[in-house]
Amino acid sequence: MNKHQNHIQDLAEIRSMMERSSKFMSLSGLSGALAGIYALAGVFLAYTMYDFNPTEIISSKSIFEVSGVVVIALLVLVFSVSSAVYLSYRKATSKGENIWNATSRRLLLNVSIPLLAGAGLSLVLFLKGIDGLIPSVTLLFYGVALYSAGIFSYREIKVLGIIQVILGLLAAYFVSYALILWALGFGIAHIIYGTYIHIRHER
């Protein structure tokens, strides 16, 4: 009986090792929380400095009036990506792991396709003056990207992805609340997720 239990335990350990080797576990929870803070700061600046709060699908502002919001969004993206790369690299090196491996490459490929598609569609909407749908589109495509990332990393990322998709659909219907829903998705949800991952997997 003991031998049988030992075999089962050995198989469970082998399976666990195989799962860990096929998943990218160096994503930093702290970087997720920081991304949420950056997003909330970006929403605050866009609203206070440029009065960006679309209430209709078709914008009443010109491209030049909204261009400042685009700059803020790009800065939020740069800060978020930079924090994620730096903190994930630091986490991986502290464990003696290589951050750039076959798993991370598959993760990047699966995430980049929906993100690039969402960015392209958002650019088209911006050029056409359909600003009211941009928060929805970014939430939807980002949610799909996160759900795909969950295959190669923490399972909790899938849950975060589903939340983003739901908020994106709500933002498409309730356009006047789109900015608030965007702040909930990219801001509050990220902070909660990042804090949870840090406490659950990194402490």
CB 181 within 8 A of CB 170: yes
> Residue type for 135, please?
P
CA neighbor of 142 nearest in space, from 155, 120, 161? 161
Q: Return the pLDDT at 21.
A: 44
Give per-residue burial for 42-81: e unless 16+ CB within 10 Å, then b: bbebbeeebebebeebebeeeeeebeebbebbeebbebbe
Q: Where are the domains of the chain?
A: 28-193
Apex 132 CA angle, 131 and 133, nearest 5: 90
**pLDDT confidence of residue 51:** 84
List average pLDDT for each run of 10 residues in the chain, which is 203 residues long: 53 45 65 94 92 80 76 91 86 76 80 92 89 92 91 85 96 93 95 90 70
Say if pTM beats, i.e. exceeds, 0.85: no
Distance CA 115, CA 121 (A): 10
- What is residue 26's predicted lDDT score, i.e. its pLDDT? 65
Handedness of CA 97, 101, 107, 108 (dihedral sign): positive
Q: How many residues does the chain have?
A: 203
